Amino acid sequence: MQKKPVKILSSGPLLNIAHIVKGSRANGPGLRDVIWVQGCSRHCEGCQNLELQSHIRRYILPVSTLIGQIAARKDQIEGVTISGGEPLEQPAGLAELMEMVHELGLSTMVYTGFEYDEIYDSSNPQIQRILSATDILIDGPFILSKKTQSVPWVGSSNQRVICLTSRYSKNEIGEMDICVQECFIFPSVLGDFTIINTGIQQ
Ligand code: SF4
For residue 2, the model assigns a pLDDT of 53
> Per-residue pLDDT tens for 107-136?
999 999 999 999 999 999 999 999 999 999
With cut-offs at 50, 70 and 90, classify the pLDDT of residue 4: low
For 72-89, how does the pLDDT look when each residue is reduced to its tens digit (9 = 90+)? 999 999 999 999 999 999
pLDDT at residue 190 is higher than 80: no
pLDDT > 70? residue 197: yes
Q: Is the minimum distance from the CB of 147 to ligand 1 under 6 angstroms?
A: no
**If you average pLDDT over residues 57-66, what whole number do you get?**
96
Complete domains list, the chain, with CATH = 14-199 (3.20.20.70)
Mean pLDDT, rounded, for 155-167:
97
Residue 8 is predicted with a pLDDT of 46
* pLDDT tens digits, one per residue of 38-55: 999 999 999 989 999 999
pLDDT of residue 111: 98
Q: Is there a contact between 108 and 95 (Cβ–Cβ < 8 Å)?
A: no
In this prediction, residues 50-78 reach a mean pLDDT of 96
pLDDT of residue 121: 96
Whole-structure pTM value:
0.91
177 secondary structure, DSSP code: -
Asked if the model's pLDDT at residue 173 lies above 90, the reply is: yes
Residue in 44, 82, 138 to alter for ligand 1 test, most ligand atoms within 8 A of Cβ: 44
Q: 191 C-alpha to center of ligand 1: Å?
A: 31
- The CA 61 to ligand 1 mean position distance, Å, reads 22
Residue 115 three-state SS: coil
Q: At what angle do helices 91-103 and 63-72 cross, to 10 degrees?
A: 30
Going from the Cα of 148 to the center of ligand 1, the distance in angstroms, rounded, reads 15
Residue 160 CA to residue 105 CA, distance in Å, equals 24
- Closest ligand 1 atom to residue 113 Cα is 1
Which residues make beta-bridge pairs with 137? Answer: 110, 162
pLDDT band at 189 (very low <50, low <70, confident <90, very high): low
Are 81 and 36 a contacting pair, CB within 8 Å? no
Of residues 155 and 192, more confidently modeled = 155
